[in-house]
Amino acid sequence: MASQWGYVTDGGLETDLIFHRGMDLPEFAAYPLVRTEEGRKVLRDYYQEYAEIAARARTGLRLETPTWRANTDWGAKLGDDKSALSAVNRAAVEFVREIAETWGDRVSDIVVSGNIGPRGQGYVGGEVPDPDEAAEYHSPQLEAFAKADADHAAALTLTSPGEAIGVVRAAEAAGLPVMVSFTVEPDGRLPDGTPLSEAVQQVDETAPPASFMVNCAHPTHVLPAFGSDGAWAERIQGVRVNASRLTHAELDEAEELGEADLGELVPAHRRLEEKLPSLVVVGGCCGTDARHVAALWGV
C-alpha cells in the first residue's frame, strides 16, 4: 500500500536491544556497538526490519544513527574522551550510510540522520540549560555528523526549549538541518512544565529548526497538548511514541518491558495523527519494535 506519510523511522532501539536481543547497554548507550563486528551485525539486523517496512509501505526511510548517548557527559561515563566520541559519531554515520546504500534499489528516498540526545537524563526537567552553553556542548557531535556527510540531524527527547535553541544554533553552525524532538509527560507538558505549544513557539521565535517531533510518550500523553488549536501544530512533522502508558519515572524503574496492546496503541495514534496536519515521519520509541511501527503504517 502507498502511505499518506513520507518516512518510516525506527522504534525503541535501546529497549529492543536490551529486552529482545539480550544486549548489555551500560548507561543505555548503543553507540559502542558500532565499534565491533558483532555489534554492527545486531544493529544491521535491527535497521533492516525498518527498511523492509518502508519497502512494503512504498515510502521513504529515515535512518537515525545509534548515537543518542554519544555526547561528552555520557561518553565520559563509558570512558570515551572527545576524540573517541568524534570518531564513533563519524563511524556511525558511515555505518548507517552503508545500510542506506544496500537498500537504495528497494527504497527510493533514504535520509541518513545523525541522532543526538539531551545532555541530561532525557526524562526529567532539571536545571534550565542556557542556549549558548547547550550550543557549545552539542557542537562536537553535530560537527562529527557533518564531517561524515550526514544528510540531517535529529535531537530526541529534549526536555526544555533552552537546550533545543542551543541544538539548533549548533546544527546551523555545522551546516546540518535539524529536527528538534520534545518529550512530554501525561499532561502534554515538557518535563520542565512548559506546554508543548509554548516550547515550539519559543524555539521557532529564536532559532527555528527544520521541523519538530514529539517522542518518548504514549499517544494519550501527547494528545492533551492539543487543547487549543494553533499554527504551532503544523510545525510538528514527526512522532515516535512509547508502547506503554507508564510515566517516565515508572519506565525508568521498570524491570520488564511492557508490551503494547496494538488494539489500543494504533487507535490512540490515529487520534493523534488527526492533530498533526504536517506529519511526515512516523516511528516508535521506548518499548516499541518493528511490529509496532509496521502496525502504525498499516503494513
Letter string b/e over residues 210-219, b meaning 16 or more CB atoms within 10 A of that residue's CB: bbbbbbbbbb
Mean pLDDT confidence for 153-174: 98
- How far, in Å, CA of 61 to CA of 109, rounded? 6
Tell me how far the alpha carbon of residue 102 is from its chain's centroid.
22
Selection from 89, 111, 92 nearest residue 100 by Cα: 111
SS3 105: coil
More confident residue, 2 or 132: 132
Mean pLDDT confidence for 137-166: 98
Q: What is the DSSP letter of 64?
A: E
Beta strands in 33-161 (DSSP E): 60-64, 110-116, 152-158
Average pLDDT, the chain: 93
pLDDT digits (tens, 9 = 90+) for 14-65: 999 999 999 999 999 999 999 999 999 999 999 999 999 999 999 999 999 9
pLDDT for 1: 32
pLDDT digits (tens, 9 = 90+) for 170-208: 999 999 999 999 999 999 999 999 999 999 999 999 999
pLDDT for 246: 67
Neighbours of 81 (CB within 10 A): 10
Beta strands in 94-220 (DSSP E): 110-116, 152-158, 178-182, 211-215
pLDDT for 299: 96
pLDDT for 123: 57
Work out whether the CA dihedral 53, 65, 287, 216 comes out positive or negative: negative
pLDDT for 121: 74
Band of residue 164 on the pLDDT scale cut at 50, 70, 90: very high
Q: Is the pLDDT of residue 254 over 60?
A: no
Tell me how far the alpha carbon of residue 35 is from its chain's centroid.
21
Contact 60, 283 (CB under 8 A): no
Contact 279, 285 (CB under 8 A): no
- How far, in Å, CA of 224 to CA of 214, rounded? 13
Residue 255 CB partners (closer than 8 Å, separation 6+) = none
Supply the DSSP string of 236-259, one letter for each residue.
Answer: EEEEEE-SS---HHHHHH-SS-PP
First to last CA, the chain: 7
pLDDT for 261: 82
Q: Is the pLDDT of residue 125 over 60?
A: no
For 260, phi then psi, to 5°, come to -75, 145
Residue 279 pairs with which residues in a beta bridge? none
Cell of 76: 565520559
Q: Is the pLDDT of residue 229 over 80?
A: no
More confident residue, 227 or 254: 227
pLDDT for 20: 93
pLDDT digits (tens, 9 = 90+) for 64-76: 999 999 999 999 9
Beta strands in the chain (DSSP E): 7-8, 60-64, 110-116, 152-158, 178-182, 211-215, 236-241, 281-284
Band of residue 2 on the pLDDT scale cut at 50, 70, 90: very low
Place of cell 526490519: 49
Q: Return the top range by mean pLDDT from 127-136, 237-246, 285-294.
A: 285-294
Q: Supply the pTM of this predicted model.
A: 0.94
